[in-house]
Amino acid sequence: MSFVPRFFLPSVAQGQTEIALDESASHYLVRVLRMTAGGRFTGFDAQERRYELVLKRADPFQAVAQIISGGEKSPADPGILMAIGQSLPKAAKMDWILRQCTELGVNRFIPLVTQRSISRPDASRYGHKKGRWEKIIVEACRQCGRNDIPALDPVTKWEKALGLFAEFDLVLMAYEKNAPTLKTVLESASLAKKVMVLIGPEGGWTKDEVREAEQHGAVSVHLPTPLLRTETAGGAVAAMIRLFFSHRTENETTPNSE
């Protein structure tokens, strides 16, 4: 199958037949891919709609495309909705976490400030981080073929995060090896539809945070892996949860052979 470029379309009005692409997309199509008028590509928007487009004007600064089909919303995922509550790591590790977990099907990101968080952006710096993080999420969706863009919460303090637990059927806290296994906990909560995963910082969770999380309904779990870095743990747990619940969905939809 030949390569078909794919781009995010920030806004498509009802009945719109042409769209002007931003400079980044225009440059990539015309300068990098050497696409000329008549070339085809696909797009998706913030409403999870997919479009087929043909390049009408090959301008590297503001290309214009014609919408030839699409506009239908992608079918809902029959599985689960999964959020990652990620204690903010140092340096650019959050960029990697957002990219990796978007590819693995996470639906919501909640950046957390916890007791051992090294990164603690103030309000003036968060605006810049938020804009960059949103671009990373959208680019990951473009690359992996997702039409649904994960939500990105504001940076949230631990005390406020505890109040979010009530929005989920299951809250998992990746912790020490003496906690129950992830598989055991998932099997006991196999009907869950909304799952939140809490990932600690480089220094790990404090005992107070574990106690507070469990008091608010979280379940501590350990993973069937060696000790993982904070930038690796979220993706690993997300992949395991997706695999578990995909098997559940398959079992629900497979006719009984008897």
What percentage of the chain has pLDDT greater than the value 90? 60
Instruction: Compute the CA torsion angle 45, 50, 52, 58 (nearest 10 deg).
Output: 20
* Rounded CA separation 181/188 (Å): 11
pLDDT at res. 3: 72
Q: Which residue has the higher pLDDT, 104 or 255?
A: 104
- Topology of the domain covering 6-73: Ribosomal Protein L25; Chain P (2.40.240)
pLDDT tens per residue, range 236-248: 999 999 999 887 6
Domain 81-252 is found in CATH 3.90.1200.10: no
pLDDT at res. 149: 92
pLDDT tens per residue, range 79-112: 789 999 999 998 789 999 999 999 999 999 999 9
Closest CA to 142 of 6, 4, 23: 6
Closest CA to 119 of 147, 91, 138: 91
User: Which DSSP symbol is given to 222?
Assistant: B
Residue 48 pLDDT > 50, yes or no?
A: yes
pLDDT at res. 122: 64
Residue 76 pLDDT > 90, yes or no?
A: no
pLDDT at res. 258: 46
Residue carrying the six token digits 């916890």: 114
* Rounded CA separation 23/11 (Å): 15
In the chain, what are the domain boundaries? Answer: 6-73, 81-252
What percentage of the chain has pLDDT greater than the value 70? 91
> Which of 124-138, 163-177, 194-208 bottoms out in mean pLDDT, i.e. has the lowest?
124-138
**3-state SS assignment for residue 102:** helix
Residue 251 pLDDT > 70, yes or no?
A: no
pLDDT band at 255; cut points 50, 70, 90: low
pLDDT band at 257; cut points 50, 70, 90: very low
Whole-number average pLDDT of the chain: 88
Closest CA to 195 of 204, 203, 185: 185
pLDDT tens per residue, range 177-236: 778 899 999 999 988 999 999 999 988 899 999 999 999 999 999 988 888 899 999 999
Going from the C-alpha of 110 to that of each of 48, 77, 142, 152, 202, the distances in angstroms are 21, 21, 21, 6, 17
